[in-house]
Structure 1
């Protein structure tokens, strides 16, 4: 005997599990027809079970997170950081009451800068993030900061507590 759901109540405790199963099954069923898209779904998406009452669908989408199922390479993590910086830039500019004449974006990743400036076809993961970054920034806004000069990396350089306390990082 086979049992099959014909309906599922949204918001039920097992909704995220069912949604994740449906997403994975759809990807597996269509891997021959859409190999790149199906593989991207199988490699990168996991639905979290976070539920909360929010005012608007936009707020819910902003709170939703899709976690990678595979470990990301350092260049892809750097790209994620550039995407986060871009999103923060947009939010900060919206919140400011003063006009800005120019905005500078910095990364210590030459790979990210190469991806941002490339016209070549990129893997789906890279292409999607580069596309979002370039929707609200331009390539000429991005600059390289050498690792040694990057204050964001001060905590990862093996500094003593005293040097860390007096560094620009804190």
Structure 2
């Protein structure tokens, strides 16, 4: 589902389709029909009749798996006559629903004859468009869980008011939206992926944007975001910031795998100089918790992709603090993506680079921390 939605935002021309009555179009083998028997009684009759379904039906546990297998097998069997059918089936369908995009009308006609349009509205948010809004409900719910609230106990106090206000705001969600099209549509376009991360004692967040430069100019679009409540276990801010950096690295990997276009440049940004030093300094020794996460980050990103971002310029900060619906549609960094300077530089400024390098010389680490405090609120936890 997530991959389908990411690819759905690639091309200028969008298509949505649906396989009509998908389950009912797939037959059941004769010997298996006895497992789909049901009884029926005619009106004004006491006699029960036994019938067998000859088609797969909604509600049976294996029907979705059988339907997916049949659709992909049909595409494989027909691959000589329609070479693109298997790729379309595997990359654009989620069960019986198809979403796809194309660069021009020629591709559209070639790939998708006979599709019938449809639309669907849901509160399900796999792209994280309203994540800063949703986190405002998750945080007080976690607080209730922490205090042992039963599911049928009335909620009162600050948590009760926070949840009540949040529920009332859901009526305004129809005003929140993003551009479907992100990324370039021309062969000469330059595309950059920018991923930001942040953490607080209550939540962690990562959010990604695509910057596209073409002969028409430069555009920056929200791609996707993720927020999570922090662990119930007490931990330090540096560890939470490291977890946020790991989420950013995983987000970057997911986007690279699911998108059809390659990025010319990739940037990952954190406002924690401590975390940046952990990632970049290969000589530092860490405890297992820190070591394992740094190892995964290094495995799926490179050191030169990580740069510093000032906290006030970090859109992921909104994912950890939460936003009202009205804030998301007006001045939020999360969706509005202001054209601030970080999107127009290949590297951090000299001052920011100095902040990143505070800990990079492990031999002078302690003297640097003493001399340059306060650089980061987390310096006291620099040992991991």
Q: What residue number does 1:96 align with? A: 259
Q: Cα 1:95–1:72, aligned 2, differ >3 Å: closer, same or farther?
A: same
Aligned equivalent of 1:134:
298
Q: 2:248 is matched with which residue? A: 85
Task: From the superposition, tell whether residues 110 and 98 of structure 1 become closer, same or farther in structure 2 (CA, over 3 Å).
Answer: same
The equivalent residue for 1:43 is: none
Partner of 1:143: 307
Distance 1:82 1:156 in 2: 13
Deviation (angstroms), 1:159: 8.3
1:71 counterpart (221, 227, 234) = 234
Q: Distance in 2 between matches of 1:122 and 1:155?
A: 28
Distance in 2, matches of 1:85 and 1:158, equals: 18
Q: Is 1:169–2:331 an aligned residue pair? A: no
- TM-score, normalised by the number of residues in structure 1: 0.53
**How far, CA to CA, are the matches of 1:97 and 1:112 in structure 2?**
31
Q: Distance in 2 between matches of 1:96 and 1:164?
A: 26
| CA RMSD of superposed structures (Å) | 2.6
Question: How far is 1:161 from its partner?
Answer: 7.4
Deviation at 1:70, TM superposition (A): 3.2
Q: For the residues of structure 1 that align with 2:231 and 2:324, how far apart are their CA atoms?
A: 34
Choose between structure 1 and 2: higher helix proportion: 1
Provide the aligned length of Structure 1 versus Structure 2.
104
Distance 1:134 1:72 in 2: 22
Quote the residue 1:21 is aligned against.
Answer: none
Cα shift at 1:136: 1.0
Q: Find out whether 1:123 has 2:287 as its counterpart.
A: yes
Q: Is the 8 A contact 1:155 1:164 kept in 2?
A: no
Which SS does the other structure have where 2:269 is aligned? strand
What TM-score comes out, normalization by structure 2 length? 0.25
Gaps of 5+ in 2: 1-229, 336-384
| Cα offset, 1:85, TM superposition | 1.0
SS of alignment partner, residue 84 of structure 1: helix
Q: Summarize the Cα distance change of 1:155–1:134 in structure 2 as closer, same or farther, 3 Å threshold.
A: closer
Whether contact under 8 Å (1:110, 1:144) holds in the other structure is yes
User: Deviation of residue 123 (structure 1)?
Assistant: 1.3
